[in-house]
Amino acid sequence: MRKVAIVLSLVCATLMTTACKTTTAAKRYKSSPVTRDEIRLIEADTAGGATISISETSPDLRKYNENIRRTNVPYDVVTRLNKEIDKYIGTRYKYGGLNENGLDCSGFVFRVYMGALNLELPHSSAMQAKLGASVQKNELQFGDLVFFNIRGRGISHVGIYIGDGNFVHASTKLGVVVSNLQEKYYKERYVSARRIL
């Protein structure tokens, strides 16, 4: 009987340790507050944000749109995108980040589309806003990209629409999270949406 009690105690201790580790792992995704200088850099976007100027006849823009048109979108595209999105939920924000150690907004979009569809998008929200076709806010579908003007100088933030007014994005304070387009902050800063599939 005593042996059984000891074994049970060890099992309970192991389970509690695992639970603590899980909680700690979940907490690590909450990024610490950033400085004003870091926010300025972040909002300028990875590749220059709103300062990027790409004409409608730009070779770069044509290249990306041509790649998009050639991409064979699998029938289970929603499943694939969801799987990639789930992989990064909670990942901390990191300016210029492109992996599980940290992502910025356009880096998150880049990783999701590359991982789900092998579709390489530019690592810049301003450049991503020139891809595909324009979509009205009331016609948004799962997978559309939604764009925001955070600093009043053009597009500097991007997220992926997932339905019911919700979009997933890399927030500077919370990392990769789900927000709603009706939230005052995002409603006031919403600019446009693009469909790249």
Contact 121, 105 (CB under 8 A): no
Residue 26 DSSP code: H
Q: Find the catalytic residue in 12, 20, 105, 123.
A: 105
Listing DSSP states for 39-55 in one string gives HHHHHT-TT-GGG----
Q: How many CB atoms lie within 10 A of CB 35?
A: 8
Contact 91, 102 (CB under 8 A): yes
- CA atoms within a 13 Å half-sphere pointing along the CA-CB vector of 45: 29
Q: Find the catalytic residue in 12, 20, 123, 157.
A: 157
Q: Find the catalytic residue in 12, 20, 123, 169.
A: 169
105 is catalytic: yes
- With a CB cutoff of 8 Å and minimum separation 6, the contacts of 194 are 128, 129, 130, 131, 132, 133, 134, 135, 144, 145, 147
Contact 146, 190 (CB under 8 A): yes
Give the whole-angstrom CA distance, residue 73 versus residue 7.
53
Residues known to be catalytic: 105, 157, 169
